[in-house]
Chain A
Amino acid sequence: MNIKAIIVEDQPMSAEILKKFCVRSGIVNVLHHFPDAVLAAEFLQQNVVDLVFLDVEMPGPSGFDLLDQINMQPQVIMTTAHTNHAFTAFEYNVCDYLKKPYTYQRFLDAVGKVITITANAKEKKKGEEDIFIKCNGQVIRLKTSEILYMESMGDYVRFVTKDKKYITHNSMKKLLSQIDPDIFCQVHRSYIVNMCKLNDFRDNNASIEGHLIPVSKANKAKVKKHIKVLQ
């Protein structure tokens, strides 16, 4: 994992030590260091980062002022020499709060929290993403987690959920380019399945909540790639 970060810190030594820690971790890639919140805000308006190491007290706007300004939601680790700001920091939902001077181990713990939160958010997003399909003249919202599989029917595709089936004008090829490949896998020329719903996979079939879906020889390897078998 490579975390793209910026450091917003007016104290040169604090910034230098933080940069060294980032290099030493081998995980955090520092894109820039800004000595004040104004320059950092300008950068964040045009660039996306995963993590901001943010000092609270700086000349001009404070670290909290910066958080009020930016629209994006990077993870934030506050770095300050004062514990008085801890309560406010957690009201801003920051990931962690490093009190200077902190150790390398404490830095690693904070970065570990960022990794866990990011991974959890990604997992959560996977299952919660919605897609919209056109069906019987209506645009219907379907939760990714509700879809069991999709079946090709010539110029149409059938979306199968636990309780309902929806037929929409679409092709498998077009569909494959629009859905999340981490969740959905084409197991057969006519079938795309939600791998989160896979119950078992044997011979040439995948079982998904009571539905038996054929798995073609050509797609077997792809299916195996998706699943982690403990041996």
Chain B
Amino acid sequence: MPVMKTETFDFSAVFDSAYLLEVHDNDLNAIAEIFMTAHEQIINEIHLSKPFAERGDAESLRQRFHRIKPLWGFSGLHYWQQHVQVFEDFCCRKPDRENLKESYHRLIQQMEIGLNLLEMESNRLKNHLH
């Protein structure tokens, strides 16, 4: 059983620290693990989504991002979860291929900002714990 580190850590303001601490029972190790797993899974899902964007397959793209969405939420980055939700809704309106690709690329840019935040916070937290 991992030893729980309960000391305080100043999360960056963009992260919902109250949510993270409540969900993980103040276990900073568990939060660090969530950051790493979410980062890894989001990159993987984005990679898998690319062919659908190229083909203009809105429904498959929506399903892919539906899997990504809670990863942002569980990482305490609710704003990014909302971004994905907006994109999912957009996909439901069956946009044409060009519109879909444009919207997809805008979303990916947003996702990359979120991924950087996640990586930086993950590293900061790991350094704090070690």
Interface residues of A (CB under 8 A from B): 10-14, 17, 20, 24, 57, 59, 81-82, 100-101, 103-105
- For the complex, give the distance between the alpha carbons of A81 and B63 in Å: 12
**B69 proximal to A (CB < 8 A):** yes
Asked whether A81 lies within 8 Å of B19 as measured between CB atoms, the reply is: no
Contact of A105 among B22, B38, B78, B88 (CB under 8 A): B22
Interface residues of B (CB under 8 A from A): 19, 22-23, 25, 30, 34, 37-38, 41, 63, 66-67, 69-71, 73-74, 78, 81, 85, 88
Query: B57: shortest Cβ distance to chain A, in Å?
Result: 15
Asked whether A13 lies within 8 Å of B37 as measured between CB atoms, the reply is: yes
Query: What chain B residues lie within 8 Å of A101 (beta carbons)?
Result: 19, 23, 70, 73-74, 78, 81
Asked whether A13 lies within 8 Å of B38 as measured between CB atoms, the reply is: yes
Closest to A59 in B: B63
The B contact surface, by secondary structure, is helix
Asked whether B38 lies within 8 Å of A57 as measured between CB atoms, the reply is: no
Asked whether A14 lies within 8 Å of B70 as measured between CB atoms, the reply is: yes
- For the complex, give the distance between the alpha carbons of A104 and B85 in Å: 23
Asked whether A57 lies within 8 Å of B66 as measured between CB atoms, the reply is: yes
Q: 18 more A-B contacts (CB under 8 A) besides A11-B71, A13-B74, A81-B66?
A: A10-B67, A13-B34, A13-B70, A14-B70, A24-B25, A57-B63, A57-B66, A81-B69, A81-B85, A100-B69, A100-B70, A100-B73, A101-B23, A101-B78, A103-B19, A104-B22, A104-B23, A105-B22
Q: List 6 A-B pairs, minimum CB-CB distance, nearest first.
A: A101-B73, A100-B70, A81-B70, A101-B74, A81-B69, A103-B22
Query: What chain A residues lie within 8 Å of B85 (beta carbons)?
Result: 81-82
Asked whether B41 lies within 8 Å of A13 as measured between CB atoms, the reply is: yes
Closest to A57 in B: B66
Query: What chain B residues lie within 8 Å of A14 (beta carbons)?
Result: 70, 74
Asked whether A104 lies within 8 Å of B74 as measured between CB atoms, the reply is: no
Asked whether B23 lies within 8 Å of A11 as measured between CB atoms, the reply is: no
- For the complex, give the distance between the alpha carbons of A14 and B70 in Å: 7
Query: B45: shortest Cβ distance to chain A, in Å?
Result: 10
Query: What chain B residues lie within 8 Å of A104 (beta carbons)?
Result: 22-23, 25
- For the complex, give the distance between the alpha carbons of A13 and B88 in Å: 20
- For the complex, give the distance between the alpha carbons of A12 and B30 in Å: 15
Query: What chain A residues lie within 8 Å of B41 (beta carbons)?
Result: 12-13
Asked whether B70 lies within 8 Å of A11 as measured between CB atoms, the reply is: yes
Query: What chain A residues lie within 8 Å of B37 (beta carbons)?
Result: 13
Query: What chain A residues lie within 8 Å of B78 (beta carbons)?
Result: 101
Query: What chain B residues lie within 8 Å of A24 (beta carbons)?
Result: 25
- For the complex, give the distance between the alpha carbons of A36 and B39 in Å: 23
Query: What chain B residues lie within 8 Å of A20 (beta carbons)?
Result: 30
Closest to B37 in A: A13
Query: What chain A residues lie within 8 Å of B71 (beta carbons)?
Result: 11, 13
Query: A57: shortest Cβ distance to chain B, in Å?
Result: 6
- Most chain A C-beta atoms within 10 Å of own C-beta, residue among B23, B25, B38, B70: B70
- For the complex, give the distance between the alpha carbons of A101 and B88 in Å: 17
Query: What chain A residues lie within 8 Å of B22 (beta carbons)?
Result: 103-105
Query: What chain B residues lie within 8 Å of A100 (beta carbons)?
Result: 69-70, 73-74
Query: What chain B residues lie within 8 Å of A82 (beta carbons)?
Result: 66, 85, 88
- For the complex, give the distance between the alpha carbons of A57 and B67 in Å: 9
- Most chain A C-beta atoms within 10 Å of own C-beta, residue among B34, B38, B74, B81: B74
Query: B60: shortest Cβ distance to chain A, in Å?
Result: 11
